[in-house]
Chain A
Amino acid sequence: SAVISQKPSRDICQRGTSLTIQCQVDSQVTMMFWYRQQPGQSLTLIATANQGSEATYESGFVIDKFPISRPNLTFSTLTVSNMSPEDSSIYLCSVDLQGSYEQYFGPGTRLTVT
C-alpha cells in the first residue's frame, strides 16, 4: 500500500475564487486520479493524471475549470477555479500503485463554496 495525504483537509471558500488541492504520495506512482464525491454518494472521476503527460479529463470536466499539475511521480495538484456553490463536494485523489488497477485513496478535501 501507500501513504497518501491531501491538503487542505477542508476549506470554506467564496464563490468566484479558486482553491488548489495537493496530493502527496510516499512512493513513486505513474497513475493518479482525481475524483469528486458528494457526501453519501458515489465517486465521479474528474481526470487521470499521469506523470509526463497532460491530464485526461472525463466528460463534463474541462481543464479551464479543473487544471491539474503532475510535476513528478509523488505529487499532483487539482485546482478548482472560479468556484460556485455547485462545486461544494469532497475531492479525492487516488493512486494505482503497480498498474494492478487497485486504487488507494487519500483522505479527501471537503470543499464548501459560499
Chain B
Amino acid sequence: AQRVTQPEKLLSVFKGAPVELKCNYSYSGSPELFWYVQYSRQRLQLLLRHISRESIKGFTADLNKGETSFHLKKPFAQEEDSAMYYCALVSNYQLIWGAGTKLIIKP
C-alpha cells in the first residue's frame, strides 16, 4: 500500500545549524513527491516538488529511490523556518500525506 512516513513529530535545532526533515515512502512505480509547509496562522502551501529540482527558501530535497526517501534539507536554519512540514505522495490523482514534522528553530 502507498504510504508516507515522517518519523519525527518534532524537530528542534538551533539557528544556523543544518536541518534534515525525514520522509520515507512506499510506492510501486515511479513516485511523485512534494513538500508542503504551514507557517503559524498561514495556509498550507507548496514548498517544492521533486521533479522541479529547485531550491526554495534554501531548502532542497532529493529523491532516493534506493532508500525510498525524500528528505528535506537546509544547510543553515533560520528562525523563520519554524513551521509544520508535510511530505506528500501522488497516488491515483490524490495526495497521500505524511503525519507532519513540527520544526522549531531555537535562537
Name the one of B34, B49, B84, B98 contacting A40, with C-beta atoms under 8 angstroms. B84
Interfacial chain B residues near A104, Cβ < 8 Å: 45-46
Q: How far is the CA of A67 from the CA of B93 in the complex (A)?
A: 21
Contact A102 B34 (CB under 8 A): yes
B interface: dominant SS: strand
Q: Which of A15-23, A72-80, A81-89, A105-113 contacts B (4 or more CB under 8 A)?
A: A105-113
Interface size bucket, B side? 10 to 19
Q: How many residues of A contact B (CB 8 A)?
A: 19
Contact A106 B43 (CB under 8 A): yes
Contact B43 A107 (CB under 8 A): yes
Contact A48 B43 (CB under 8 A): no
Interfacial chain B residues near A92, Cβ < 8 Å: 44
Q: How far is the CA of A108 from the CA of B43 in the complex (A)?
A: 7
Interfacial chain A residues near B27, Cβ < 8 Å: none
Also in contact, A31 and B93, with CB within 8 A (given A43-B86, A105-B44, A106-B43): yes
Chain A, range 40-92, C-beta contacts under 8 Å to B: 40-43, 45, 48, 92
Interfacial chain B residues near A24, Cβ < 8 Å: none
Interfacial chain A residues near B43, Cβ < 8 Å: 105-108
Q: Which residues of B contact A (CB under 8 A)?
A: 32, 34, 43-46, 49, 84, 86, 90, 93-95, 97-100, 102
Q: Which residues of A contact B (CB under 8 A)?
A: 31, 33, 40-43, 45, 48, 92, 94, 96, 101-108
